[in-house]
């Protein structure tokens, strides 16, 4: 079986979710609670990553994340994933500099949207994910229109992610705020689905909370990871 390397700490809460969910889905697939996947986690500093992004230090960010992937490659990972959406801003540049295969959360999310036959989709996440076009590229290329919240909505979402969800705080008022923004996007923009484009958002928003398709990027990514372990 293949060993997965996880670049974690981006953020810590989602890293825990990745670890537990990979084990749970692996055991369900193999049909035994007495089997465990072999994996490696390299937990990096999320705040260093965000500071590099804030300061426009793209090359330093590429170097930082590439080094994290190479360390996993050096200890024997057969493939590597990053347990967050935001670092995928430089996914292509990292993949070009390492030998180990990597699985993109963006590509897997696009494939899920295609499977659901969505033509117009919303995206919420950190301000870096919403402001940059790394998520939009594969969708636009395949004629799926992507919509992001307006500026004030983006500021609210990013603020709550950093202040609350990244620290494991799940607030019911914040949940109502996120749902209200998504409903605004349904009414204003006509979205047919929404990408929960930060791996902490599923702590707050569940599929049953919405009237449209919700694409849980964490779950989508983990399903592909577990499939790849068995290949």
CATH of residue 112's domain is 3.40.50.1860
Instruction: Look at residue 160 and give its three-state secondary structure.
Output: helix
Residue 38's pLDDT is what? 94
| pLDDT tens, residue by residue, 167-211 | 889 999 999 999 999 999 999 999 999 999 998 999 999 999 999
Sign of the CA dihedral running 57, 63, 65, 66: positive
Exposed/middle/buried for residue 67 (C-beta within 10 Å: 0-12, 13-18, 19+): middle
Chain-centroid distance, C-alpha 140 = 19
| pLDDT tens, residue by residue, 67-125 | 999 999 999 999 999 999 999 999 999 999 999 999 999 999 999 999 999 999 999 99
Return the number of other C-beta atoms located less than 10 Å from residue 35's C-beta: 12
Residue 13's pLDDT is what? 85
Query: Do 144 and 69 share a structural domain?
Result: no
Domain containing residue 12: 4-104+220-229
Count of domains observed in the chain: 2
Query: Do 116 and 92 share a structural domain?
Result: no
Query: Do 200 and 173 share a structural domain?
Result: yes
Query: Do 118 and 97 share a structural domain?
Result: no
Query: Do 134 and 149 share a structural domain?
Result: yes
Query: Do 132 and 122 share a structural domain?
Result: yes
Q: Tokens standing for 139?
A: 């969708």
Residue length of the chain:
231
Query: Do 121 and 79 share a structural domain?
Result: no
What is the model's pTM?
Answer: 0.92
């Amino acid at each position: 079986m293949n060993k997965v390397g996880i670049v974690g700490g981006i953020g810590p809460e989602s890293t825990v979710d990745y670890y537990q969910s990979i084990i749970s889905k692996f055991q369900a697939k193999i049909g035994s609670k007495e089997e465990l996947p072999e994996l490696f986690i390299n937990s990096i500093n999320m705040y260093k990553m965000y500071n590099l992004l804030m300061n426009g230090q793209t090359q330093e960010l590429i170097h930082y994340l590439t080094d994290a992937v190479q360390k996993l490659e050096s200890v024997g990972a057969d493939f590597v994933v990053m347990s967050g959406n935001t670092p995928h801003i430089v996914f292509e540049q990292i993949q070009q500099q390492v030998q180990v295969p990597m699985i993109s959360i963006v590509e897997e999310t696009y494939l899920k949207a295609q499977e659901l036959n969505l033509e117009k989709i919303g995206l919420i996440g950190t301000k870096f994910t919403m402001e940059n076009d790394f998520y939009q590229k594969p969708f636009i290329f395949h004629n799926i229109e992507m919509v992001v919240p307006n500026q004030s909505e983006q500021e609210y979402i990013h603020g709550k992610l950093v202040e609350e969800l990244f620290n494991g705080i799940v607030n019911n008022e914040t949940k109502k705020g996120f749902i209200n923004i998504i409903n605004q996007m349904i009414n204003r923009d006509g979205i047919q689905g929404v990408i929960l484009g930060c791996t902490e958002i599923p702590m707050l928003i569940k599929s049953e909370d919405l009237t449209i398709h919700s694409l849980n990027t964490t779950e989508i990514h983990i399903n592909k990871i577990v499939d790849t372990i068995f290949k």
